Each structure stands twice: as structure tokens, then as C-alpha cells.
């Protein structure tokens, strides 16, 4: 078998000797050709002037460190006037000109560094047969090429949490090419201004309504068309409607009536309807807890009977540490709630999701958007997982409807979000409820019309109606909507563009979610520089 069929990177080289010393294998290699090409003028030369040796590290061989000791010839260039009179032969498919590691080894170390960062990466690499220090590994990472993308025509801007509640950065997305083109370490205006000035050519900036990004776009790329994100606009509208409805609490109650079928089980944390798989998890958790309590009682009884800790440990079948821990408690340990992580954030919306699901809505992104309007602030993935489980648990439908006989007064937030839905998307109960609400209170009727008009502009992108809409809000006398309209006037051009152009930040938000996933894969070692490199390479 030829050398290059086992080691393709060594094609064109001749293996002269293999040496094993401790945990290091050394291949002694020399080029198998008689000539080499001048790197400057590319002429072939056979005139060897001298020879030297160069050692580079390759990927480990069966767990051992592999070194390649290359015999390198210096040639005299054959072209008479070539300024590079003498050149050394190169092995471009194997190693960079002055590299100390082969290209393959460099890729492997980059991958480890990307995945684990400096210290953990250096430990793993060393363990796998590539001894390297943390500092060197980080240097490998910094030298890794970061792709630079051309300035996009349509730029999406959003913020993302480097450390939630502590540090935020800015993500820049090429909305036409659908890729992340840069991460900035802050969410202030200045770094974005600098970036925009260094990347002329952006024509449209789609952003949320944070003033910092508006300012940055204005200063960094004057003349650019700014687009306020439609989704944020609708959320702001729902906020305003909620504040308005809060003035009419008694009306919300009256319209709900007593004993009449209204809007199914509504989201409130105390009244969560449990679906069967939740009930099972709950049951398992309770069983475990019962066993724990029994164990605790037995330990107490044995202690009271005068047994030593060691005896108790053996009799109960626990470690001495556990016995100490239990006996230090005044009462049995509390039960750990099942499934505390992912679904806890969804808990207030589960009842609502079940109800919509039961009513036949199977559009996941739509349901995600609906609960976002009600205040849900977490990932679409959590919602999607929940709906997946609903789908695979056909018995849930019974649960969803069983709750709807209970009459509850819907929250102002919930009603506010109903007000911007397309009317044909409402259930019969919802439609009837809104009708009663409007019958009772003309202000709500008026607010409903204005909300529908705005939502329609956002949906159909008929921003040319925006000015007329502003005028009817001004004339409406509804203070909450007037304040909302006032905030839109401060950002008038971008809002109008947002209601007219097809661009929106939905895609940017999707990229932010991917970023979160990457961060999690890096086990929290999300040093900004590292994360940036990974994101841009993945782009
Ligand atoms: Zn030459």
C-alpha cells in the first residue's frame, strides 16, 4: 500500500524512516520530485543549493503525537533575473510556508478551540495526543480566518444577550443572503456607526424601535431607508390597547357574563390545566417524594432508637453523608418540582395553547406569535416542543375542552391581543365576547376599529394609509392610542417603511435564536471573541 493512500496529506513525499521515541512518532520525509518551482516566477529548477530540516506537528497517530521531519531543499532559481535568486521548496498541500503545524492539525486544533475554548481545549488536545498550551491554542483560534462578507444591501439589526441581564451585543444580518455578517460587543449606537461607515453600500436597515439603532443608522449611513420592525409595532399597539382596556375592567367582567360560555381556560398561573404527560411527570415526582419522606422518617426513628450514623446508613441503604444531611433537617426535604427548566417559562400560556390547539389551530409559529403578544418572552423552540407533545398525546383534546365550561374573565392583555387578530381567526366564542364588549362600551368599539386598521396595514403592508390612520387616532379621544401614535410620530419614516416594505426583523430574531444555541454548545465559555468567530464561520 502506498504512503499517500493512508496519509493523503503526504502525497508527493517519500517516507525515509519512522522513529518511535516515548509517545512520539516521527516520520522522516523528503520530496519525491527532482525539481521545484520558484514561488516568485514559477520557473522549475533542479539546481539544489543546500538542504535543511524542518519539523511540523501533524494530527496524532493512534493516540501518539506525530511529528513530520521534512528534508527541505534550497534551489537556485533558473530564471536569470529573478529577484528570488534562491528559494526553499514548499509543501502547500501539507503546511503553510512558515507553519509549525500541518493544515490538518491546524483545522483539528481550531475545531477543539472553537468547541471548548482555551483551557478545556488545551487539556483535551493534550489528552488526544496533541500537547499544546492554553495560550498557543488561543493563538491558533485568533489566527483562524474569519470570513468577511461584503456589505449587504439590506441589513437586519437586533440585540442579543451575551450574558442575560448583564451584557448585550448587536447582531448584524444580511437579510438577502440570510447570514450573520457581524457581531458587535455592545448594543450602543457607536460601534454600529463605525461599522456602517466602514461598510458603505447598505440601502435598507431593518431594526427594532430601540433609539440607539435608529441614531446609529442615521449617523452611520445617512440616506439609508430605516424600517421599523412590524412585529414590535404590533406589540407596542397591544400594550396601548391593554392600558386602554384596563380602564374598563367592569365592562370586561360584564361581557364575560355569568354561566355563559366564554373564552376557554384563560392563561393564569393558578389555573393551569395539566395535560396527561404532565400528570404522569407529576405522579412520578410525587412517588419519589413519598419514598424520600419514608426514608427520612426511618432515619429519625433509628436515631431516636439510639443507632449510630453508620448503623443507620447501613440499615437504610444510604451513604453516611446522606444520613447526616437528612438528620440535619427539621422536616422531610421538599419535593423537587418536575420539569422545572424549559416549560416553567411557558406555564402561564400552556392552558391557552391547549385551548387554541383543541380549537384546531396547528400553525406553530402563529401560536408562538399569539402568546408573545400576551407577554411570552422566550424561545419559539420551547413552544414548539410543547406543541409537539400535545400532538403526540391525542388524549389532550379532552383536557382542553373540559376547562372551557368554567367562566372566567379574560385578562385585559388577552383581550388586547384579540383586538388585533384577523376576525376570521377568532373562535365563535371569542367573536361573541368581543361583540358583547363593543355593545357595552363605545370606546372599545372605536379602539377595536383603529386597532384592526393598524394591524391590517402591518399585515397587508399598506403603509400609505398610515397618515390617515394617525389623523383618526388624533380625533378619537382615546388617550392610550394617542400616546402610541405619538411614539410612532417620533419615528415616522421608519414606521411607515415598516408598514410598507417587505423587510422585517423576523429573520434576524431567528439568527439570534441560533446564536443562543451556539452559546449553549460552548458550555457557557462564550467569550465574545470566540463566539463571534464561531458564528461568522458557521455563516
Ligand atoms: Zn524565480
Q: Which of 176-185, 186-195, 277-286, 349-358 has the lowest mean pLDDT?
A: 277-286
What pLDDT is attached to residue 344?
66
Q: Measure 261 CA to ligand 1 centroid, in angstroms.
A: 90
pLDDT band per the 50, 70, 90 thresholds, residue 505: confident
For residue 109 the three cell numbers come to 486544533
Q: Measure 44 CA to ligand 1 centroid, in angstroms.
A: 8
Q: Measure 77 CA to ligand 1 centroid, in angstroms.
A: 5
What pLDDT is attached to residue 141?
80
Q: Measure 323 CA to ligand 1 centroid, in angstroms.
A: 81
What pLDDT is attached to residue 529?
78
pLDDT at residue 246 above 60? yes
Q: Measure 49 CA to ligand 1 centroid, in angstroms.
A: 14
Does the global pTM surpass 0.85?
Answer: no
What pLDDT is attached to residue 46?
94
Q: Measure 383 CA to ligand 1 centroid, in angstroms.
A: 64
Q: Measure 73 CA to ligand 1 centroid, in angstroms.
A: 15
Grouping H, G, I as helix, E, B as strand and the rest as coil, residue 272 is coil
pLDDT band per the 50, 70, 90 thresholds, residue 266: very low
Q: Which carries the bigger pLDDT value, residue 225 or residue 357?
A: 225
Beta-carbon contacts of 46 under 8 Å, excluding residues fewer than 6 positions away, are: 34, 35, 75, 78
Q: Which carries the bigger pLDDT value, residue 20 or residue 539?
A: 20
What pLDDT is attached to residue 521?
65
Q: Ligand 1 being an ion, which residues bring their Cβ within 5 A of it? A: 38, 40-41, 77, 79, 82, 84
pLDDT band per the 50, 70, 90 thresholds, residue 30: very high
Q: Measure 39 CA to ligand 1 centroid, in angstroms.
A: 7
Q: Measure 87 CA to ligand 1 centroid, in angstroms.
A: 8
Q: Measure 84 CA to ligand 1 centroid, in angstroms.
A: 5
Mean pLDDT of 359-373: 82
What pLDDT is attached to residue 108?
93
Q: Measure 239 CA to ligand 1 centroid, in angstroms.
A: 72
Say how far apart CA 296 and CA 298 lie, in whole Å.
Answer: 5
pLDDT at residue 395 above 50? yes
Q: Measure 75 CA to ligand 1 centroid, in angstroms.
A: 10
Q: Which carries the bigger pLDDT value, residue 275 or residue 360?
A: 360
pLDDT at residue 73 above 90? yes
Say how far apart CA 66 and CA 366 lie, in whole Å.
Answer: 55
Q: Measure 81 CA to ligand 1 centroid, in angstroms.
A: 8
What pLDDT is attached to residue 404?
39
Q: Which carries the bigger pLDDT value, residue 322 or residue 15?
A: 15
Beta-carbon contacts of 56 under 8 Å, excluding residues fewer than 6 positions away, are: 67, 68, 70, 94, 95, 99, 100, 101, 102, 105
What average pLDDT does the chain have? 83
What pLDDT is attached to residue 522?
62
Percent of the chain with pLDDT over 70: 88
Helices 492-500 and 466-476: crossing angle in degrees, nearest 10, is: 120
pLDDT at residue 419 above 80? yes
Mean pLDDT of 7-19: 92
Q: Yes or no: say if 89 and 71 are a contact pair by the CB < 8 Å rule.
A: no
pLDDT at residue 152 above 90? yes
Q: Which of 53-57, 94-98, 212-216, 403-407 has the lowest mean pLDDT?
A: 403-407
Q: Which carries the bigger pLDDT value, residue 33 or residue 282?
A: 33
Q: Measure 470 CA to ligand 1 centroid, in angstroms.
A: 74
pLDDT band per the 50, 70, 90 thresholds, residue 165: confident
pLDDT band per the 50, 70, 90 thresholds, residue 271: very low
Mean pLDDT of 159-163: 84
Kindly report the three-state secondary structure assignment for every residue of 390-459.
HHHCCCHHHHHHHHHHCCCCCCHHHHHHHHCCCHHHCCHHHHHHHHHHHHHCHHHHHHHHHHHHHHHHHH
Q: Measure 47 CA to ligand 1 centroid, in angstroms.
A: 12
Q: Which of 105-109, 231-235, 266-270, 356-360 has the lowest mean pLDDT?
A: 266-270
What pLDDT is attached to residue 155?
94
Mean pLDDT of 190-207: 93
pLDDT at residue 399 above 80? no
For residue 178 the three cell numbers come to 440570510
pLDDT at residue 188 above 70? yes
Q: Measure 97 CA to ligand 1 centroid, in angstroms.
A: 16
Mean pLDDT of 209-219: 88
Q: Measure 45 CA to ligand 1 centroid, in angstroms.
A: 9
pLDDT at residue 51 above 90? yes
Q: Measure 143 CA to ligand 1 centroid, in angstroms.
A: 29
pLDDT (tens digit per residue) in 275-284: 556 666 666 7
Q: Measure 144 CA to ligand 1 centroid, in angstroms.
A: 30
pLDDT at residue 401 above 50? no
CA dihedral sign of residues 319, 325, 331, 333: negative
What pLDDT is attached to residue 240?
94
pLDDT at residue 396 above 60? no
Q: Which carries the bigger pLDDT value, residue 294 or residue 364?
A: 364
What pLDDT is attached to residue 420?
87
What pLDDT is attached to residue 55?
96
Enclosing H/E stretch for 219: helix 211-220
What pLDDT is attached to residue 524?
53
Amino acid at each position: 500500500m502506498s504512503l499517500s493512500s493512508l496519509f493523503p496529506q503526504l502525497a508527493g513525499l517519500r517516507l525515509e524512516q519512522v522513529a518511535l521515541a516515548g509517545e512520539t512518532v516521527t516520520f522522516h520525509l523528503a520530496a519525491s520530485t527532482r525539481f521545484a518551482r520558484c514561488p516568485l516566477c514559477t520557473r522549475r529548477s533542479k539546481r539544489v543549493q543546500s538542504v535543511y530540516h524542518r519539523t511540523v506537528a501533524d494530527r496524532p497517530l493512534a493516540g501518539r503525537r506525530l511529528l513530520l521531519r521534512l528534508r527541505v531543499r534550497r534551489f537556485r532559481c533558473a530564471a536569470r533575473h529573478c529577484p528570488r535568486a534562491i528559494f526553499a521548496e514548499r509543501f502547500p498541500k501539507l503546511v503553510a510556508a512558515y507553519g509549525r503545524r500541518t493544515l490538518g492539525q491546524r483545522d483539528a486544533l481550531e475545531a477543539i478551540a472553537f468547541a471548548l475554548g482555551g483551557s478545556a481545549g488545551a487539556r483535551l488536545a493534550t489528552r488526544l495526543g496533541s500537547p499544546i498550551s492554553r495560550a498557543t491554542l488561543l493563538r491558533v483560534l485568533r489566527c483562524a480566518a474569519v470570513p468577511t462578507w461584503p456589505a449587504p444591501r439590506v441589513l437586519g439589526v437586533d440585540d442579543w444577550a451575551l450574558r442575560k441581564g448583564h451584557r448585550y451585543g448587536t447582531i448584524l444580518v444580511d437579510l438577502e443572503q440570510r447570514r450573520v455578517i457581524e457581531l458587535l460587543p455592545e448594543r450602543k449606537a457607536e460601534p454600529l456607526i463605525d461599522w456602517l461607515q466602514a461598510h458603505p453600500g447598505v440601502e435598507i436597515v431593518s431594526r427594532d424601535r430601540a433609539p440607539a439603532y435608529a441614531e446609529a443608522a442615521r449617523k452611520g449611513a445617512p440616506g439609508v431607508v430605516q424600517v421599523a420592525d412590524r412585529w414590535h409595532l404590533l406589540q407596542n399597539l397591544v400594550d396601548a390597547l391593554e392600558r386602554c382596556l384596563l380602564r374598563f375592567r367592569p365592562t370586561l367582567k360584564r361581557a364575560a357574563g355569568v354561566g355563559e360560555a366564554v373564552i376557554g381556560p384563560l392563561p393564569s398561573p393558578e389555573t393551569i390545566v395539566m395535560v396527561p404527560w404532565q400528570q404522569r411527570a407529576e405522579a412520578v415526582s410525587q412517588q419519589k417524594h413519598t419514598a424520600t419522606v419514608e426514608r427520612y422518617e426511618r432515619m429519625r426513628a433509628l436515631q431516636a432508637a439510639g443507632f449510630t450514623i453508620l448503623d443507620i446508613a447501613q440499615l437504610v441503604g444510604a451513604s453516611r453523608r446522606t444520613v447526616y444531611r437528612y438528620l440535619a433537617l427539621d422536616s422531610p426535604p421538599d419535593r423537587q418540582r418536575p420539569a422545572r427548566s424549559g416549560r416553567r417559562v411557558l406555564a402561564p400560556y400552556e392552558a391557552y395553547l391547549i385551548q387554541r390547539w383543541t380549537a384546531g389551530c396547528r400553525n406553530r409559529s402563529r401560536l408562538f406569535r399569539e402568546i408573545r403578544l400576551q407577554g411570552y418572552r422566550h424561545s419559539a423552540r420551547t413552544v414548539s416542543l410543547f406543541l409537539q407533545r400535545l400532538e403526540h398525546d391525542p388524549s389532550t383534546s379532552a383536557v382542553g375542552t373540559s376547562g372551557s365550561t368554567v367562566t372566567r374573565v379574560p385578562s385585559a392583555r388577552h383581550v388586547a391581543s384579540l383586538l388585533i387578530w384577523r376576525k376570521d381567526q377568532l373562535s365563535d366564542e371569542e367573536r361573541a365576547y368581543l361583540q358583547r364588549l363593543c355593545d357595552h362600551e363605545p370606546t372599545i368599539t372605536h379602539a377595536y376599529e383603529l386597532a384592526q386598521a393598524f394591524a391590517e396595514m402591518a399585515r397587508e403592508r399598506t403603509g400609505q394609509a398610515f397618515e390617515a390612520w394617525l389623523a383618526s387616532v388624533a380625533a378619537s379621544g382615546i388617550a392610550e392610542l394617542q400616546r402610541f401614535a405619538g411614539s410612532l410620530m417620533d419615528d415616522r419614516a421608519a414606521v411607515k417603511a415598516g408598514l410598507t416594505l417587505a423587510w422585517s426583523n423576523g429573520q434576524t430574531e431567528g439568527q439570534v435564536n441560533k446564536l443562543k444555541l451556539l452559546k449553549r454548545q460552548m458550555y457557557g465559555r462564550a467569550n465574545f471573541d470566540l463566539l463571534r468567530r464561531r458564528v461568522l464561520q458557521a455563516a
